[in-house]
Amino acid sequence: MARILARQGQGRDAVSAPFDTLKLARQFEAAGFEHKQAGDMAAAIADATVSADLATKTDLQTALRDVEHRLKIWTGSVGAALFALLFTALHLWPPK
């Protein structure tokens, strides 16, 4: 289990697991796993969780703002194009 704790404290750039790996390892031990196996399983789960591409609430809010902004630009562009088309059609109609 010392290996698990050492992984979480690897300098400033280390990302810790979003759960208590020591507690998880102890739960594995209580379930009947050997000490080393419990620690290795907890470390593997922590590595998989940390390296997964999970979106946070802030990530989703940022993406939503970006989509809303693009939709507003697209809607404005379509509106301007339709206005120009209507203006041109009314100027050419009726033919002289």
The answer to whether residues 83 and 46 belong to one domain is no
Reduce the DSSP state of residue 56 to 3 states and report it: coil
The answer to whether residues 20 and 60 belong to one domain is no
Q: Does pLDDT of 6 surpass 80?
A: no
Output the pLDDT for position 21. 86
Question: Is the pTM higher than 0.85?
Answer: no
Q: Does pLDDT of 38 surpass 70?
A: yes
Residue of 82 and 8 predicted with greater confidence: 82
The answer to whether residues 18 and 37 belong to one domain is yes
The answer to whether residues 69 and 32 belong to one domain is no
Output the pLDDT for position 13. 44
**What CA–CA distance (Å, rounded) separates 83 from 96?**
22
Residue spans of alpha helices (H) in 21-56: 21-30, 35-51
The answer to whether residues 6 and 41 belong to one domain is yes
Please give the tally of structural domains in the chain.
2
The answer to whether residues 30 and 61 belong to one domain is no
Confidence of residue 54 (pLDDT cuts 50, 70, 90): confident
